[in-house]
Amino acid sequence: MKNDNSKMVGRRLIRSYLTSVISISLVLFLVALALFAWANTKILSNYFKENSVVSVILKSNATETQAQDLMKKLQEKDFVKKVQYISREQGEKEMKHLLGEDFMEVFTTSPIPISLDINLKSDYFAKDSIKMVRELISKDPLVREVTCQESLVEAMNSNLDKIGLVVAAVIILLLVISVALIANTVRLNIHSKRFTIHTMRLVGAKRNFIRKPFLRQAFWQGAIAALIADLFFALVLQYTWKHAGDMLGLFNKEVIIPIFAIVFVAGIVICVLTASYMVGKLSDISKDDLYL
């Protein structure tokens, strides 16, 4: 009977320990995802900015050679990330796709001019910078018009800034909740052993002596939970890399190792600090309060 009771108590302790570890690992996993999202917010913002196009429409008498020379000059500018050459034939195909195959029948010569699509660097994706770019390109005698939807630029910049603030607020809130949940999980685990702590105090054990086994347990609890969280995070990243395709360039891989380290250290530190605080608090608890 005694052995059965010991086995039952052992199973309960193991189950309680595993439950705590799994709960902490899930919270740390969410922290890892939040940190990764925050680290890539700037890259995502730059991606949208650098994929917005400034169209340079050339005059009807501009030749392909002149257009190619202009493209090479623009590619050397500091504000240009990429320039795409749009020939008359390509422009006609795009117009046929939009307006139908027979739209060219009303023209004796092609009304579609040669054009260049410019992708600006993200640092220049602002109203004043785009205005400067337009004025500079418009000075070229081959250029008829430079078009960019400035209202779209303002709206995109405003929305991206708002999205960044929302993401930052969500991450801070998630981190606070995560710390609270991990601390509460450790607190409940130690609180269930308050009678053991009280007994150790009655036989004269000092506070540091009582703390040691609980701190050791909290250390391994945090370390194991953090490793599990890092493993889950690695599996999610592997799945993402496998299915990202062209979107792979949106992710900054350099932040992965630091996030692994932050999650690992955070799991240990939060668990150990909470365990130290709870053991100290329960060491001074009175006998009557043990049953509360």
Assess whether 264 and 162 both reside in one domain. yes
Q: Is residue 152 part of a domain?
A: no
* pLDDT tens-digit profile, the chain (292 residues): 445 544 554 565 566 667 778 888 888 898 888 888 888 777 777 777 777 788 888 887 888 888 888 888 888 888 888 888 888 777 667 665 655 555 555 555 555 777 888 888 877 777 778 788 888 888 888 888 888 766 566 666 667 667 777 777 877 887 787 777 777 777 766 666 666 766 776 666 676 777 788 788 888 888 999 999 999 999 988 888 777 665 556 677 788 899 999 999 988 988 888 888 777 776 666 555 555 5
The dihedral built from the CA positions of residue 120, 124, 128 and 134, taken in this order, carries a sign that is negative
76: domain range?
53-147
Assess whether 115 and 234 both reside in one domain. no
Ranges of H-type helices in the chain? 2-39, 41-50, 64-75, 88-99, 127-138, 150-191, 194-202, 207-244, 256-283
Q: Is residue 179 part of a domain?
A: yes
Assess whether 262 and 181 both reside in one domain. yes
Assess whether 199 and 84 both reside in one domain. no
Return the pLDDT at 261.
Answer: 93
Return the pLDDT at 91.
Answer: 66
Assess whether 162 and 284 both reside in one domain. yes
pTM of this prediction exceeds 0.85:
no
Assess whether 141 and 163 both reside in one domain. no
Q: Are strands 115-120 and 143-147 parallel, antiparallel or unpaired?
A: unpaired
Dihedral pair phi/psi, residue 85, rounded to 5° = -85, 125
Return the pLDDT at 284.
Answer: 62
